[in-house]
A and B are shown apart, each in its own frame.
Chain A
Amino acid sequence: DIQLTQSPSFLSASVGDRVTITCRASQGISSYLAWYQQKPRKAPKLLIYVASTLQSGVPSRFSGSGSGTEFTLTISSLQPEDFATYYCQQLNSFPITFGQGTRLEIK
Chain B
Amino acid sequence: EVQLVESGGGLGQPGGSLRLSCAASGFSASDHHMDWVRQAPGKGLEWVGRTRNKANSYTTEYAASVKGRFTISRDDSKNSLYLQMNSLKTEDTAVYYCVRVEGSTRIDCWGQGTLVTVSS
Nearest residue (CB) in B for A94 is B61
Q: How far is the CB of A9 from chain B (nearest CB, A)?
A: 10
- With A43-B111, A43-B112, A95-B61 in contact, is A87–B45 under 8 Å at CB? yes
Q: How far is the CB of B10 from chain A (nearest CB, A)?
A: 18
Nearest first, the 9 A-B pairs at minimum CB distance are A49-B106, A43-B110, A96-B47, A98-B45, A34-B106, A101-B44, A94-B61, A95-B63, A100-B44
Q: Could you tell me which A residues sit within 8 Å of B by CB distance?
A: 1, 32, 34, 36, 38, 43-46, 49-50, 55, 87, 89, 91, 94-101
Q: Evaluate contact between B110 and A97: CB separation under 8 angstroms.
A: no
> What are 19 A-B contacts with C-beta separation under 8 Å?
A34-B105, A34-B106, A36-B45, A43-B111, A43-B112, A44-B45, A44-B110, A46-B108, A49-B105, A89-B45, A91-B104, A91-B106, A94-B61, A95-B47, A97-B47, A98-B45, A98-B46, A98-B47, A100-B44
Flag whether B97 is at the interface (Cβ < 8 A). Answer: yes
CA distance A91 to B35 in the complex (A): 12
CA distance A27 to B101 in the complex (A): 23
Total B residues in contact with A, Cβ cutoff 8 Å: 21
CA distance A36 to B45 in the complex (A): 10
Q: Which residues of A contact B110 (CB under 8 A)?
A: 43-45
Q: Evaluate contact between B46 and A89: CB separation under 8 angstroms.
A: no
Q: Evaluate contact between A43 and B113: CB separation under 8 angstroms.
A: yes
